[in-house]
């Protein structure tokens, strides 16, 4: 039996949801370029597209948005559970626990769009509540007149967000919604394939997302740029790291062998948001210097800027605290997860891959 470590290249399902083409640098949601959606659509429009396969007209969008808002408030039992959790429990673990506790009779198999809407709408509330609980800050209930992204920023800070900040985060959330059969999506689909409920499948996906190899590292990009500090220090700093065999954070991707289309879109958003920002100017210089030196030190490896590099710019521009980076990524990705769970149910067959036994065999005995 052929062995494929990490299941790399193995096709686990057919999907209409997205195309990730690492060789060409393509990311497509339901027939649309994801980078175009990030620059022109709202979170609500993109979510509707991933769940339905088409963009909504104005009337449909209004009804969809109103329904999504009805699910924002946390159920009382979820709030009690979160209040009982340890103060120092990691926020992603809090979120996983809370979503798991959503697994009531209303979430019985098969998964539905209403369930997807509820999990998508309540997850930002759970994340914001957990963050403010950890930091002993007063809680702010969701505001119905705000859109999904603006409401998330409001719950986190207690202040109405600036329009450019909301627009920048909106783009990031859209680009983070979906990315093919990644580890967390596979985890969710595998759980759902057993006919377990949608809340349990999303909880499993969160468990995969909180692993440091999957949840992204924009905080490490920020730390790298802060350490570089100036344009004049960029080349000697990068040369020192590469000559020692070190890794540059924000460069290279498991899938993309050319420019990451998500990074390209976030670069445009960030330029518009912080065009005169010295820190962003430094980031652009570091990006250009790093790509040149990566080709010098690692020729032919095709290492380009990935989404984490410019996600760091967005996070810094909107002053999002570091502990919220992966939870915010999760707030985005739940849309893609639930789209996959709905698709899995429509063609369900339980996931049951094989393994190759490498242990000892029992000793032959003479009888």
Q: Which stretches of 34-181 are DSSP H helices?
A: 34-40, 43-52, 58-69, 76-84, 91-100, 113-134, 148-157, 163-176
Query: In this structure, are strands 32-33 and 18-21 parallel, antiparallel, or unpaired?
Result: unpaired
Which 8-state DSSP code applies to residue 145?
Answer: T
Whether 94 contacts 324, CB under 8 Å: no
Rounded alpha-carbon distances, angstroms, from residue 69 to 62, 125, 140, 338: 11, 11, 15, 17
Cα gap 183→91, rounded to integer Å: 20
Cα gap 71→146, rounded to integer Å: 14
| Alpha carbon distance, N-terminus to C-terminus of the chain | 32
Whether 177 contacts 50, CB under 8 Å: yes
Q: What are phi and psi of 155, to 5 degrees?
A: -60, -35
242, 247, 253, 256 alpha-carbon torsion, rounded to 10°: 0
Whether 309 contacts 286, CB under 8 Å: no
Stated length of the chain? 367
Residues annotated catalytic, as ranges: 253, 308
Q: Report DSSP letters for 15-53, one per residue.
A: -SSEEEETTTTEEEETTEEHHHHHHH--HHHHHHHHHHS
């Amino acid at each position: 039996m052929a062995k494929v470590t990490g299941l790399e290249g193995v096709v686990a399902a057919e999907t209409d949801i997205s195309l990730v083409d690492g060789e060409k640098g393509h990311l497509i949601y339901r027939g649309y370029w994801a980078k175009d959606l990030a620059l022109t659509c709202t979170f609500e429009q993109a979510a509707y597209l991933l769940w339905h396969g088409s963009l909504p007209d104005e009337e449909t969008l209004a009804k969809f948005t109103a329904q999504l808002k009805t699910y924002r408030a946390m159920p009382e039992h979820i709030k009690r559970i979160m209040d009982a959790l340890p103060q120092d429990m990691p926020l992603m673990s809090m979120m996983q626990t809370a979503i798991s506790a959503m697994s009531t009779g209303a979430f019985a198999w098969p998964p539905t769009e209403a369930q997807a809407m509820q999990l998508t709408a309540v997850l930002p509330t759970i994340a914001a509540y957990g963050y403010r609980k950890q930091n002993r800050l007063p809680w702010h209930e969701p505001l119905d007149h705000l859109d999904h992204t603006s409401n998330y920023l409001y719950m986190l800070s207690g202040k109405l967000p600036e329009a450019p900040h909301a627009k920048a985060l909106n783009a990031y959330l859209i680009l983070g919604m979906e990315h093919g059969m990644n580890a967390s999506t596979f985890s969710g689909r595998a759980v759902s394939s057993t006919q377990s409920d949608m809340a349990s499948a999303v909880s499993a996906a969160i468990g995969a997302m909180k692993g440091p190899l999957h949840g992204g590292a924009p905080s490490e990009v920020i730390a790298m740029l802060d350490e570089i500090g100036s344009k004049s220090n960029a080349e000697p700093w990068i040369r020192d790291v590469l000559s020692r065999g070190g890794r540059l954070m924000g460069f290279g991707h498991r899938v993309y062998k050319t420019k990451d289309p998500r990074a390209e879109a976030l670069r445009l958003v960030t330029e518009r948001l912080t065009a005169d920002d010295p820190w962003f100017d430094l980031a652009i210089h570091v990006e250009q210097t790093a790509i040149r030196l990566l080709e010098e030190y690692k020729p032919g490896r095709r290492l380009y800027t990935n989404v984490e590099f410019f996600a760091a710019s967005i996070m810094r521009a909107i002053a999002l605290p570091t502990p919220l980076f992966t939870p915010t990524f999760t707030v985005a990705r739940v849309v893609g997860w639930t789209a996959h769970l709905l698709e899995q149910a429509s063609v369900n067959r339980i996931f049951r891959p094989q393994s190759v036994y490498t242990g000892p065999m029992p000793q032959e005995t003479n009888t």
